[in-house]
């Protein structure tokens, strides 16, 4: 459906997305779609914009070294989009959104349940005007149920959804207690599920011509990716506990101290354990009945860890990494974020790019990990300034310059 003058590349270059979402979960989904080539039109509040623009410091610096109004938080999740400011509380603003919805393939929103219905912008209000519209609604708890009206943020869903009960050091050790994950993982996973869902609906629409309404709930997503921890509980009846860096089912898999730091070791099967034991200089461990099979290692983990910790103290982190890597035993130093960006593999894969930016000149971006041989992705749009594309988009809809000036004078755009 896209028909903007600036051509797009990528497997979704024929798709237009109307993005009424803000914060993280919805914008993460729309950034995925933008990376895939979709024309994503981001609707923001005039003068204010997406809440995350102000979630700093740090803020992007302009060419003179002064802080702009865009935070790192906003910049990590809005690449590839066009920004239009619309006051949807006004009748004229609602009509602009409806016009955009008629010209779009997908609509994303994460308002509270029922909020957009008050503006005549719910799915039931738009589906007759565009029967092919795929409308995805992201909320904390879904469209129905006793908690449906409540607002939600990633942190509270990590707590409510059981994730913090299995994240962090065990209660018996120093620093024990519930911990959140170091990135907003529920938002990110909700965005991923949303992108998958709308692409599935897009594939179905190609066969039927019909649109779809998609109901995504952050709590549902959190429960969905408890994965092995949820299944462990369901088949054992025992509540999973925090184990720090130790894996509940596969051993040895932990962060271990060595002479000058720490090393992450992830032995994934019995064959790897034999190689691991050989590199430790403890070949007989691979034949020990207490440790020969993974299930035995899990049961006898305390005794195994004592041997590993005692042995690793005898060499440096670099020394152990070299030994284990030479034998095909998965391991890694504990990188900081700056360390990661210096990793030769990261540099080779081109995951860090700099995009042209109207205020800063350049803005760094960690780009999509998806690589297509026949439809390569092009990262050619930096995260937009607030309202940067308002006139372009309204012109596309047929508004004249005088009409746009009138709308701006009345705080509609």
Catalytic residues: 187
CA separation, residue 364 to residues 50, 249, 379 (Å): 20, 39, 11
Query: Is the C-alpha dihedral spanning 244, 248, 253, 258 positive or negative?
Result: positive
Q: Which residues make Cβ contacts (< 8 Å) with residue 326, sequence separation at least 6?
A: 279
**Residue 106 near residue 16, CB atoms below 8 Å:** yes
**Residue 384 near residue 83, CB atoms below 8 Å:** yes
Dihedral of the alpha carbons of 152, 44, 16, 98, in degrees to the nearest 10: 100
For the chain, the 3-state helix, strand and coil shares in percent, each to the nearest 5, are 40, 15, 45
Angle between helices 301-312 and 270-280 (to 10 degrees): 40
In which order are the strands placed within the sheet that holds 253-258? 253-258, 261-266, 331-333
Query: Exposed, middle or buried: residue 26 (CB in 10 Å: 0-12, 13-18, 19+)?
Result: buried
Q: Which residues make Cβ contacts (< 8 Å) with residue 386, sequence separation at least 6?
A: 44, 47, 49, 53, 69, 83, 85
**Residue 165 near residue 242, CB atoms below 8 Å:** yes
Question: Helix, strand, or coil here: 182?
Answer: coil
User: Which two three-digit tokens encode residue 295?
Assistant: 């299930």
Q: Please, how many CA atoms are within 13 Å of residue 75, restricted to the half-sphere of its CB?
A: 22
Q: Which residues make Cβ contacts (< 8 Å) with residue 47, sequence separation at least 6?
A: 85, 386
């Amino acid at each position: 459906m896209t028909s903007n003058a600036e051509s797009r590349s990528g497997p979704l270059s024929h798709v237009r997305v109307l993005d009424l979402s803000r914060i993280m979960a919805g914008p993460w989904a729309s950034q995925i779609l933008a990376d895939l080539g979709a024309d994503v039109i981001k609707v923001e509040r005039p003068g204010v914009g997406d809440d995350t623009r102000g979630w700093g410091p740090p803020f992007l610096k302009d060419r003179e070294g002064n802080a702009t109004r865009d935070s790192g938080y906003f910049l990590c999740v809005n690449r590839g989009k066009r920004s239009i400011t619309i006051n949807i509380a006004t009748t004229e603003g609602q009509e602009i959104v409806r016009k955009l919805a008629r010209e779009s393939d997908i609509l994303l929103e994460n308002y509270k349940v029922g909020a957009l219905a008050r503006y005549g912008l719910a799915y039931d209000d738009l589906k007759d005007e565009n029967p092919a519209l795929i409308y995805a609604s992201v909320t904390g708890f879904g469209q129905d149920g006793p908690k449906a009206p409540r607002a939600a943020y990633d942190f509270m869903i990590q707590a409510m959804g059981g994730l913090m009960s299995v994240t962090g050091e065990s209660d018996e050790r120093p620093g024990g207690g519930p911990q959140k994950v170091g990135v907003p993982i529920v938002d990110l996973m909700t965005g991923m599920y949303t992108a998958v869902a709308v692409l599935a609906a897009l594939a179905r629409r190609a066969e039927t011509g019909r649109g779809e309404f998609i109901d995504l709930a952050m709590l549902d997503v959190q429960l969905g990716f408890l994965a092995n921890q949820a299944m462990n509980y369901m088949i054992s009846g025992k509540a999973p506990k925090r184990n720090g860096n130790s894996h509940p089912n596969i051993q040895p898999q932990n962060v271990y101290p060595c002479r000058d730091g720490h090393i992450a070791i992830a032995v994934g099967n019995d064959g790897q354990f034999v190689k691991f034991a050989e590199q430790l200089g403890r070949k007989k461990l691979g034949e020990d009945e207490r440790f020969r099979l993974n299930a035995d290692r899990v049961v006898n983990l305390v005794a195994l860890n004592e041997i590993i910790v005692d042995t690793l103290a005898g060499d440096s982190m670099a020394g152990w990494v070299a030994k284990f890597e030479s034998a095909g035993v998965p391991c890694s130093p504990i990188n900081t974020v700056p360390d990661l960006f210096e990793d030769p593999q990261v540099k080779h894969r081109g995951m860090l790019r700099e995009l042209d930016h109207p205020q800063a000149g350049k803005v760094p971006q960690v780009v999509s990990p998806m690589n297509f041989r026949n439809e390569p992705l092009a990262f050619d749009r930096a995260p937009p300034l607030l309202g940067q594309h308002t006139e372009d988009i309204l012109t596309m809809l047929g508004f004249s310059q005088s009409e746009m000036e009138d709308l701006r004078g009345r705080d509609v755009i």
